[in-house]
């Protein structure tokens, strides 16, 4: 089973497609920066701005009674002594009214406990064993954000350094181009997700970007290695040798991506909800990363 | 062949060792898997960085307080240069811990300035009023929360403000109440002069119920020099109308007069009692704080995560499903594409799983949700090396080489690109581990360990298992290594 990807013929299409993807991402980032309520390139979540997130299940005999978030909010307003809690409170029901999820600005543990007992009065009884509560102070949030950005920059620098040492200039440049292409597109997709579905990114998103970076470079390195090896014993022209090398490593790269995507898909389907967006962004990164390693990076190497 | 057999025994030995380790040293589960609370404490310092000594000092005070609190199996560790992480497993309310830990617990003994008796009386009266308003506010029922109720409280508050000649600036009622309370506390404290007796002079603290009523009191035991200082101080104000105030974190918790009978010697015996209006709970909190000593720098609780035990066990189950289904489908994919080679990679994957978990219990690595996702993700990466090798073997077989030769050169030629390819992933893990938060570290650790172990299992274990298989004549057929239809190409 030999593969025959017509890289040389399709060079323009591939580069055009990537350009469209990049423009699409940049558009999302710009729109998100200027035209949303949060005015940030991406909808940064509680991890980075601080806040209180609570998920708790109700104990219901058969089915949980239907309550509108508005009525709960009215009730809360009535019995809450600390009005601060109620500013910017977001409340949602999930799972047939069974699961309550609430977001508020940062609260102290005491205030959060009061909120929970108020909820218990309105919606109770609540199952405290199912509680998932996160309180992050705004100071810590800022720190986490700087931390994540530093991690990203440091490891991108380390990877770039490694690539420049390992390959000669041209290869290094294109491998890095492919890497930033992948990261930008995943970032852009999450900008759009933030705009459309109000999806927030947290520290795990930064982790996924870092993992994607490592992974994407790994893929490109394997293909470039193959190209270098074949160029040494060149039987055909330069461009043809590159195309041949890509086709030779095509199976390996797609297979590896598939075997990495399978476990990620299992996490998306069966895993805990807190890992859902993390696994999704990793999956996207791996798909885009394979595309850029197989098609984009070698296309850039082709001579006109 | 002899050498390969040696490897086989070594691998079997490692597997047995792993199983032994896993049985005897169970894996440590993080709070998101077993339920519990995690508090991140931030040391705040106005100027400069927190030094190592200061960090250690804060750490030991917090440690003493947590121990005195009697929390079972708690875990305290430092993070970065200026943070502490406290883990309270199980269903333990983080509220009490947060109240006790968050306070500096700076205990001071102050004597009243002469001629301030009238001022103090006014302030004490207003303090009492504020307390009454608070009590009314927090004990009231939902049904009483109407406009009328708020109006009463607001009027009471206004009265206090007028008496004190101070107007609050907070926007909501609750904030106003807290603000005025702070103001009164500060004013009262200002009427007293510092002495050189402080919480540092204590050697013990205790609590007991008062005999006359159900209130509690806190007992202080001074060191020798502390006892002398206390005698000196009490002697200086005995019989005057100046009071002795015991001040905790800027708030006076007790003001008492010293009787004339102590004018000669002061109060000796090296102990004192504080009998403000304590109940069993806050008497205990004060006792724990005083026993632990005061914090050299104030701390702030910047993060609290609480996960119910039920949710934790659900998370374990979900992760198991994800891991097992991931393994099964990756295995099927490999067997479908690489036949016997695929089977070999499944076996090395199983070994990989055991070695990983055994190493977690040995190091030990605490398993958290992100950690598990790192492990699951590394399954894919572990197979990556196998795929590289198998593709090489396939190519060699297509070129008409013998099975043994193909296998040998397949492993040899793939070696360098495997090691190379994983370096970037390891780089990312390394940075994540150095700079990441606790949460992120788990992921970096499991992914990094996974990548390292996968180098061993996919290079060495697969080779050994494959060599073992090919000693059987019946398994040495090319069509067991390649899907049949491939030969037509």
Closest partner residue to A207 among B337, B426, B440, by Cβ? Answer: B440
Contact A221/B at CB under 8 A: yes
Token pair listed for A204: 């795990």
B476-487: pLDDT as tens digits: 777 777 665 444
pLDDT band at residue B18 under the 50/70/90 scheme: very high
Beta strands across the sheet bearing B216-222: B202-209, B216-222, B271-278
Contact A210 B387 (CB under 8 A): no
Tokens of B454: 């996968």
Nearest by CB to A270, from B322, B423, B485: name it: B322
> What distance in Å separates residue A35's CA from the closest CA in chain B?
31
Please give the ipTM for the structure prediction.
0.86
Q: How many CB atoms lie within 10 A of CB A265?
A: 19
What is the pLDDT confidence band of residue A19, given thresholds at 50, 70 and 90?
very high
- Mark B39-48 as b/e (b = at least 16 C-beta within 10 Å): bbbbbeeeee
Instruction: Report CB contact under 8 Å: B380, A262.
Output: yes
Residue contact B174–A83, C-beta within 8 A: yes
Residue B374, token pair as written in the block: 């790192």
Distance CA A150, CA B392 (A): 39
H/E stretch holding A171: helix A169-197
Query: Is the confidence at residue A125, as pLDDT, over 50?
Result: yes
Residues 6+ apart with CB under 8 A from B67: none
Residue A263 pLDDT > 50: yes
**Chains A, B: CB pairs < 8 Å:** 234
- How confident is residue B422, by pLDDT bands cut at 50, 70 and 90? confident
Output the pLDDT for position B483. Answer: 62
Q: Are B275 and B75 contacting, i.e. CB atoms less than 8 angstroms apart?
A: no
Span B242-253, average pLDDT: 85
| Alpha carbon distance, N-terminus to C-terminus of chain A | 29
Query: What is the predicted pLDDT for the residue at B1?
Result: 52
- Residue A242 CA to residue A9 CA, distance in Å, equals 13
Which tokens is A1 given? 């089973």
| Minimal Cβ distance to A275: which of B373, B421, B435 | B373
The radius of gyration of chain B from alpha carbons, rounded to an integer in Å, stands at 34
For residue A130, give the nearest of B174, B304, B311 by CB distance: B311
Counting beta carbons within 10 angstroms of the beta carbon of residue B3, is it exposed (0 to 12), middle (13 to 18) or buried (19 or more)?
exposed
pLDDT, tens digit (0-9, with 9 covering 90-100), for B195-219: 888 888 888 888 888 777 778 888 8
B301 touching chain A per CB within 8 A: yes
Among A128, A140, A256, whose Cβ lies nearest the Cβ of B387? Answer: A256
Ranges assigned E (strand) in B223-367: 243-248, 251-257, 271-278, 299-307, 366-367
Task: Tell me whether A124 touches chain B (CB under 8 Å).
Answer: no
Question: CA angle, corner A136, sides to A131 and A142, nearest 5?
Answer: 155
Q: Is B151 on the interface with A (CB under 8 A)?
A: no
Average pLDDT over residues B154-164: 83
In this predicted structure, the answer to whether residue A185 has a pLDDT above a threshold of 80 is yes
The CA-atom distances, in angstroms, between B153 and each of A227, B146, B177 are 80, 11, 10
Q: Name the range with the highest mean pLDDT among B239-248, B347-356, B453-462.
A: B347-356
Rounded mean pLDDT of chain B? 83
How confident is the model at residue B146, as a pLDDT?
65
CA distance B254 to B188: 11
| Residues from chain A contacting residue B346 (CB–CB below 8 Å) | none
- Where helices occur in A46-133 by DSSP H, the ranges are 46-49, 69-79, 109-123
Looking at chain A, which residue has its C-alpha nearest residue B437? Answer: A144
3-state secondary structure A179-240: HHHHHHHHHHHHHHHHHHHCCCECHHHHHHHHHHHHHHHHHHHHHHHHHHHHHHCCCCCHHH
The pTM assigned to this predicted structure is 0.82
pLDDT tens per residue across span B360-374? 998 888 888 888 888
Q: CA–CA separation, B17 vs B19, rounded Å? A: 5
Give the nearest partner residue to B174 out of A81, A113, A259, using CB atoms: A81
Q: Calculate how close chain A gets to B224, using CA atoms only, in Å.
A: 39
Residue of A nearest to B426 (CA): A214
Contacts with B, A 139-178, CB within 8 Å: 139-140, 144, 147, 150-151, 154-155, 158-159, 162, 166
Q: Coil, strand, or helix at residue A81?
A: coil
As a whole number, mean pLDDT of residues B294-319 equals 86
**Calpha distance B6→A302 (Å, rounded):** 49
B322/A267 touch (CB, cutoff 8 Å), yes or no: yes
CB A8 within 8 A of CB A239: yes
Query: Is pLDDT larger for residue A2 or for residue B205?
Result: B205
Could you tell me which chain B residue has the CA closest to the CA of A161? B424
- CA gap A86, A73 in Å, rounded: 8
Q: Does A275 touch chain B (CB under 8 A)?
A: yes
Partner residue facing A131 (CB), from B306, B369, B428: B306
CB pair distance less than 8 Å for A262 and B329: yes
Q: For A4-8, A85-89, A255-259, which range has the lowest pLDDT when averaged over its residues? A: A85-89
Q: Name which of B146-150, B265-269, B302-306 the model is least confident about.
A: B146-150
């Amino acid at each position: 089973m030999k593969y025959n990807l017509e890289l040389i013929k399709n060079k323009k299409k591939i580069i055009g497609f990537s350009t469209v993807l990049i423009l699409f991402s940049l558009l999302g980032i710009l729109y998100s920066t200027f035209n949303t309520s949060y005015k940030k390139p991406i909808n940064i979540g509680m991890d980075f701005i601080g806040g209180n997130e609570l998920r708790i299940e109700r104990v219901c005999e058969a089915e949980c009674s239907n309550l509108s978030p508005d009525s709960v909010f009215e009730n809360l307003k009535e019995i809450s002594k600390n009005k601060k809690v109620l500013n910017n409170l977001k409340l949602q029901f999930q799972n047939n009214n069974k699961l309550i999820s609430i977001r508020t600005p940062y609260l102290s543990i005491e205030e959060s406990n009061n909120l929970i007992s108020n909820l218990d009065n309105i919606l109770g009884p609540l199952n405290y064993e199912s509680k998932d509560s996160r309180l992050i102070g705004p100071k810590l949030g800022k720190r986490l954000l700087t931390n994540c950005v530093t991690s990203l920059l440091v490891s991108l620098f380390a990877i770039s350094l490694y690539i420049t040492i390992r390959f000669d200039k041209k290869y290094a440049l294109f491998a890095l181009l492919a890497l930033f292409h992948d990261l930008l597109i995943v970032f852009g997709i999450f900008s759009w997700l933030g705009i459309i579905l109000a999806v927030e990114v947290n520290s795990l998103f930064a982790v996924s970007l870092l993992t994607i970076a490592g992974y994407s470079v790994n893929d490109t390195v394997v293909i470039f290695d193959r190209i270098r090896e074949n160029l040494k014993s060149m039987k055909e022209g330069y461009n043809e040798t590159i195309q041949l090398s890509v086709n030779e490593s095509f199976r390996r790269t797609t297979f590896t991506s598939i075997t990495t995507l399978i476990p990620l898909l299992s996490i998306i389907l069966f895993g805990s909800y807190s890992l859902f967006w993390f696994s999704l962004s990793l999956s996207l990164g791996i798909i885009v990363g394979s595309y850029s390693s197989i098609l984009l990076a070698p296309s850039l190497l082709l001579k006109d | 062949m002899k050498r390969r057999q040696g490897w086989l025994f070594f691998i079997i030995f490692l597997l047995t060792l792993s199983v032994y380790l896993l049985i005897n040293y169970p894996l440590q589960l993080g709070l998101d898997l077993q339920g519990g609370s995690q508090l991140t404490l931030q040391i705040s310092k106005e100027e400069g960085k927190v030094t190592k000594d200061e960090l250690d000092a804060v750490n030991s005070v917090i440690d003493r307080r947590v121990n005195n609190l009697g929390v079972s199996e708690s875990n305290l560790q430092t993070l970065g240069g200026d943070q502490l992480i406290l883990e309270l497993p199980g269903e333990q309310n983080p509220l009490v811990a947060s109240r006790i830990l968050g306070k500096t617990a700076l205990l001071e003994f102050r004597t009243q300035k002469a001629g301030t008796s009238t001022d103090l009386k006014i302030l004490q009266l207003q303090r009492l009023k504020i307390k009454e308003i608070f009590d009314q506010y927090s004990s009231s029922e939902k049904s009483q929360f109407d406009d009328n109720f708020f109006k009463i409280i607001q009027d009471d508050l206004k009265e206090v403000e007028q008496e004190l000649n101070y107007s609050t600036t907070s926007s909501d009622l609750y904030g106003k109440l807290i603000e005025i309370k702070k103001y009164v506390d500060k004013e009262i404290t200002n009427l007293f002069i510092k002495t050189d007796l402080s919480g540092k002079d204590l050697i013990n603290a205790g609590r007991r119920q008062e005999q006359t009523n159900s209130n509690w009191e806190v007992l202080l035991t001074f060191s020798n020099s502390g006892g002398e200082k206390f005698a000196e101080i009490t002697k200086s104000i005995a019989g005057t109308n100046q009071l002795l105030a015991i001040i905790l974190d800027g708030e006076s918790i007790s003001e008492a007069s010293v009787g004339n009978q102590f004018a000669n010697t002061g109060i000796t015996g090296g102990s004192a009692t504080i009998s403000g209006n304590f109940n069993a709970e806050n008497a205990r909190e004060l006792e724990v704080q005083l026993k632990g000593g005061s914090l050299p720098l104030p701390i702030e609780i910047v993060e609290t995560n609480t996960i119910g035990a039920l949710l934790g066990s659900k998370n374990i189950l979900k992760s198991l499903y994800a891991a097992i289904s991931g393994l099964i489908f990756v295995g099927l994919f490999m067997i479908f594409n690489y036949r016997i080679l695929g089977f070999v990679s499944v076996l090395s994957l199983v070994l990989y799983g055991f070695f990983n978990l055994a190493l977690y219990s040995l190091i030990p690595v605490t398993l958290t949700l992100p950690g598990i996702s790192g492990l699951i993700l590394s399954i894919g990466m572990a197979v990556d090396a196998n795929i590289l090798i198998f593709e090489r073997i396939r190519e060699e077989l297509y070129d008409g080489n013998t099975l043994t030769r193909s296998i040998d050169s397949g492993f040899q030629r793939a070696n360098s690109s495997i090691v190379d390819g994983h370096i970037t992933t390891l780089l990312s893990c390394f940075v994540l581990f150095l700079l990441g938060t606790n949460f992120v570290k788990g992921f970096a650790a499991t992914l990094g360990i996974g990548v390292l172990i996968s180098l061993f299992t996919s290079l060495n274990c697969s080779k050994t298992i494959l060599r073992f298989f090919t000693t059987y004549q019946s398994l040495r057929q090319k069509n067991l290594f390649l899907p049949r239809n491939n030969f037509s190409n």
